[in-house]
Amino acid sequence: MAAIELRGLSHTFGGRRPVPALAGVDLEVPDGAFVSVVGPSGCGKSTILRVLAGLQVPSGGEALVGGGSTIGRAGLVAYMPQKDLLLPWRRVLGNATLGAEVAGVPRVEAKAAALGLMERFGLAGFERSWPAQLSGGMRQRVALLRTFLQPARTLLLDEPFGALDAITRRGMHIWLQDVWMRDRRTVLFITHDVEEALLLSDTVYVMSPRPGRMVARVDVAFERPRTGGLVVEAAFVRLKAELLGALEG
Amino acid sequence: MSAGAKAAVEFPDRPGRRVLAKPLRAGRRALAAYLPATLLLVALVGVWEAWVRVFDTKPYVLPAPSRVWDAFLETRDILPGHIRTTVAEAAIGLGVAVAVGVGLALAMATWPLVRRVFYPILIVSQTIPMVVLAPLLIIWFGFGLTPKVVIVALIGFFPIAVATVDGLTGADGDMIGLIRSMGGRKRAELWYVRIPAALPSFFAGLKIAAAYAVLGAVIGEWVGASSGLGIFITRSQNSFRVDRVFVATAVVALVSIGLFAAVTIAARLATPWMYIRQGEEEEPL
Ligand SMILES: Nc1ncnc2c1ncn2[C@@H]1O[C@H](COP(=O)(O)OP(=O)(O)OP(=O)(O)O)[C@@H](O)[C@H]1O
Ligand SMILES: [Mg+2]
């Protein structure tokens, strides 16, 4: 059974001038796979994740996580929204453990897990800082840490590295692959960055401009662990060209 | 860690200087903040004293500040008892106002029906003049503490309830969505987002309530009491001791300011994230 399944998912935002955002999206993420979605801005990527997180009731189609419908049902996945949404009244540590706490993980346990990862996320020494004292990239890393510490089996990441510089980004890619390979949780990953998608994923989906639907699907078979050097290899460049072609339509 | 050690080597005198600089800086800031108001107050008192002396105003019309000071010294023994009574009424009344105001706000934020029923009643309750209500409360609750506490609570719960319900319902929808995506229900939404988001507005409401609490207690005492600043004022007026009325007024103002300052400090302690200055270390208080 697929960990995530979308069948004919469509959505139109109401209002005086209705905005069709999704027009029949089909997607399948096998259990334990890392799948990315790339697409132009405004094509409905975040809307897909909001439906899967149970926060947006779509106008049509089906959305399943672990075989169960997520329509109007939240709490089945660990969701990292595009905005970091750190709570201003919790320090870095408290924000990192938030999802785990809400899910019922004992506070001491969540704290210990978070503290163990601070170094890895480049947040060591900032455990007691307030979110308002962090840079955009640091805030994003706290949000990513918060998502990882949630006990869910399925992760939805909406452009988690959007606010990072190229070098920090590369470091995070290597790190993300590392932790993902350790327990192989299912990941659905949204990005604008074709290279990032290829480097991390088993499969990359390409979306059309709004109203979004899937226009291409590319399987990425490179052996893991992949390193940064992969991006200049001929096979990688060929796949990249294929994806960019699909994006341009 | 290593950065701190390096700084200590490069600026060996810095830590010591910082320790001294902090209270000094805080003192200068306080001076800059309160100096203009203090100067104006002193000037007004000076003009008042001069006015009374030049025009030889009768003390039962307008006593000079120096005479008010003498009256204060005269009443030093009887005042503390009255102050204690009034402060107790104000503090208990404020406590009741917080309990009722916050409880009502939580109920209104949780159940839309409660909000629809109570919000209009809340507003109507504020249009009843206290001078009309106070004598009734004395009839219902007697001459003791209760009617004053009720008046203070009636005045205070409104700004607290309104500010708190606005804070609770105005919390960021995306943050609430995040909690729901984590599997949190209404209670988790309240605990992790709505309540902390409402704390600053709750304290804004509490400041208003605190500023009026002493006044509320005094109004209650005017109608009937055996102790308190209100009855002290009434007695002084009946014996044409306008100077004592001024003493009591000044005490009411001072106690109100003290209560207001206490709430400000509590707000500062309860919502530290509201007081972060960018690029500076946090200072405790
Ligand atoms: N709450 C809303 N009400 C109305 N329209 C909306 C709403 N949210 C999104 N939209 C519209 O739906 C479309 C898809 O939005 P979505 O946020 O899913 O795009 P996206 O692919 O994530 O874009 P980006 O890459 O810029 O984040 C957009 O055109 C947007 O204008
Ligand atoms: Mg988006």
Here the CATH number for the domain that contains residue B223 is: 1.10.3720.10
Domain assignment of residue B155, yes or no: yes
Report chain A's mean pLDDT, rounded to a whole number.
93
Yes or no: say if B16 and B277 are a contact pair by the CB < 8 Å rule.
no
> B86 with B189, same domain?
yes
Kindly state the tokens that stand for B173: 């929808």
> B117 with B50, same domain?
no
User: Which of the residue ranges A44-53, A129-138, B92-101, B138-147 would you say has the lowest mean pLDDT?
Assistant: B138-147
Yes or no: say if A130 and A87 are a contact pair by the CB < 8 Å rule.
no
Check the CA dihedral B221-B227-B231-B232 and report its sign: negative
Domain that holds residue A114: 83-151
Residue of B20 and A143 predicted with greater confidence: A143
Report chain B's mean pLDDT, rounded to a whole number.
86
Using the beta-carbon criterion (under 8 Å), do B174 and A83 form an inter-chain contact? yes
Q: What is the pLDDT of residues B204-222, one digit of tens each?
A: 999 999 999 999 999 889 8
pLDDT confidence tier of residue A122, bands split at 50, 70 and 90: confident
Residue of A147 and A165 predicted with greater confidence: A147
> B146 with B26, same domain?
no
Pairing of strands A60-65, A214-219: unpaired
Task: Please name the residue of chain A whose CA is at the shortest distance from the CA of residue B273.
Answer: A89
> B176 with B48, same domain?
no
Would you say the CB of residue A185 lies under 6 angstroms from ligand 1? Answer: no
Yes or no: say if A24 and A12 are a contact pair by the CB < 8 Å rule.
no
The pLDDT of residue B122 is: 84
Domain assignment of residue B83, yes or no: yes
Q: How many domains, in total, are found in chain B?
A: 2
Give CA–CA dist A132/A95, Å, rounded: 12
Would you say the CB of residue A129 lies under 6 angstroms from ligand 1? Answer: no
> B22 with B150, same domain?
no
Would you say the CB of residue A11 lies under 6 angstroms from ligand 1? Answer: no
Domain that holds residue B175: 79-282
Q: What is the pLDDT of residues B54-82, one digit of tens each?
A: 999 888 889 999 999 999 999 999 999 99
Nearest CA to ligand 1 atom 18: A44
pLDDT at B86 over 50: yes
pLDDT confidence tier of residue B164, bands split at 50, 70 and 90: very high
* Chain A / chain B CB contacts < 8 angstroms: 62
pLDDT confidence tier of residue A45, bands split at 50, 70 and 90: very high
Using the beta-carbon criterion (under 8 Å), do A55 and B196 form an inter-chain contact? no
Q: Is B119 exposed, middle or buried (0-12, 13-18, 19+ CB in 10 A)?
A: middle
Q: What is the pLDDT of residues B218-251, one digit of tens each?
A: 988 988 888 999 999 999 999 999 999 999 999 9
Domain assignment of residue A1, yes or no: no
The pLDDT of residue B20 is: 54
The pLDDT of residue B284 is: 46
Domain assignment of residue A39, yes or no: no
Domain assignment of residue A147, yes or no: yes
What's the DSSP call for residue B192?
Answer: I
Domain assignment of residue B154, yes or no: yes
Residue A45 CA, ligand 1 centroid: distance in Å: 8
pLDDT confidence tier of residue B21, bands split at 50, 70 and 90: low
Q: How many domains, in total, are found in chain A?
A: 1
Q: Is A53 on the interface with B (CB under 8 A)?
A: yes
> B154 with B214, same domain?
yes
Domain assignment of residue B169, yes or no: yes
Residue of B277 and B270 predicted with greater confidence: B270
- Which among A11, A25, A36, A47 is the best mutation to test ligand 1's pocket, defined by most ligand atoms within 8 Å of the CB? A47
Would you say the CB of residue A44 lies under 6 angstroms from ligand 1? Answer: yes
Mean pLDDT of A9-38: 94
Give CA–CA dist B219/A95, Å, rounded: 47
Domain assignment of residue A213, yes or no: no
The ligand 1 atom at the shortest distance from the C-alpha of residue A50 is: 18
Domain assignment of residue A113, yes or no: yes
The pLDDT of residue A103 is: 94
> What percent of chain B lies above the pLDDT cut of 70?
89
CA distance B227 to chain A (A): 44
Predicted complex: ipTM over 0.85: yes
Domain assignment of residue B31, yes or no: yes
Task: Please name the residue of chain B whose CA is at the shortest distance from the CA of residue A149.
Answer: B182
Mean pLDDT of B72-97: 94
CA distance B34 to chain A (A): 29
pLDDT at B283 over 60: no
Mean pLDDT of A38-66: 95
The pLDDT of residue B12 is: 43
Yes or no: say if A106 and A137 are a contact pair by the CB < 8 Å rule.
no
B203: Cβ contacts below 8 Å, ≥ 6 apart: B263, B266, B267, B270, B271
C-alpha pair distances (Å), B2 with each of A18, A204, B5: 57, 43, 5
> B41 with B133, same domain?
no
Mean pLDDT of B28-33: 82
> B30 with B102, same domain?
no
- A205-215 as b/e, with b when 16 or more CB fall inside 10 Å? bbbbebbbbbe
Nearest CA to ligand 1 atom 4: A13
Domain assignment of residue B74, yes or no: no
> What percent of chain A lies above the pLDDT cut of 70?
100
Domain assignment of residue A144, yes or no: yes
Using the beta-carbon criterion (under 8 Å), do B182 and A55 form an inter-chain contact? no
The pLDDT of residue B285 is: 44
The pLDDT of residue B2 is: 44
> B237 with B200, same domain?
yes
pLDDT confidence tier of residue B126, bands split at 50, 70 and 90: confident
CB atoms within 10 A of CB A58: 23
Using the beta-carbon criterion (under 8 Å), do B276 and A125 form an inter-chain contact? no
Mean pLDDT of A115-129: 92
> B49 with B120, same domain?
no
- A80-89 as b/e, with b when 16 or more CB fall inside 10 Å? bbbebbbbbb
pTM: 0.85
